[in-house]
A = this chain, B = another copy of it.
Amino acid sequence: MSSQPRLTPTSYIVLGLVEASGEATPYDLKRTVAKSLGNFWSLPHAQLYAEPKRLAAAGLLEERQESSGRRRKYYRLTEQGGQALSEWRSAPTEEMTELRDLAMLKIFFGADPAQMAAAQLPARRRKLEEYEGVHELIAEHAPEGSLLTLEAGIRHEREWVRFWSGLAEEESEPG
């Protein structure tokens, strides 16, 4: 009768993705993460095998295994799992993520800002462009939640680009 283990963000990611799919294998989850969620909250694929198992043991997912061929494991929400997900999702949170940015950590400890900016700026710009491309592609049909997430990501990338631009050494115009 499934004593509750601690539910982590990873747990809810799995529950949420399974809900969206109806039924999914860990590999399905992996692909979905790669496409949609992974940009702002990625997970190593091993967790997408381990976590559903935990959740199934806790009674929040139901596991079904193919009896032949690849013997894939399919998961779907149980009543209990659906309820846990709804409760979590509809509970507003004040929690605020820390920056935890490696480049900033180095700067905190005295690294040269201009040098760090030289490495960060192009990477941030690339990422920003990528996001903006995706946004254009999916703006019409994507569910509101994933659009908003993407938009938040874009805003913060823009902020990073502004920030690092300010620290980058000015390239003097040739001529």
A residues near B, CB below 8 A?
Answer: 9, 12-13, 16, 19-20, 37, 39-42, 85, 88-113, 115-116, 118-120, 122-124, 127, 143-146, 148-149, 151-153, 155-156, 159-160, 162-163, 167
Contacts and interface: CB of A to CB of B under 8 A. Distances in A.
Contact of A124 (B12, B96, B102, B163): B96
A42 B163 contact: no
A76 to B, nearest CB: 16
28 contacts: A9-B105, A12-B109, A13-B105, A16-B109, A16-B110, A39-B98, A40-B104, A41-B100, A89-B111, A92-B103, A92-B111, A93-B103, A93-B116, A93-B120, A94-B123, A95-B102, A96-B101, A96-B124, A96-B127, A99-B152, A99-B156, A101-B152, A107-B145, A108-B148, A110-B145, A155-B162, A155-B163, A156-B156
The 6 closest A-B pairs by CB, nearest first: A92-B119, A16-B109, A94-B123, A40-B99, A97-B101, A108-B149
Contacts of A146: 108
A136 B69 CA distance: 66
A61 to B, nearest CB: 15
A107 B145 CA distance: 5
A37 B108 CA distance: 8
A101 B153 CA distance: 10
Contact of A89 (B41, B104, B109): B109
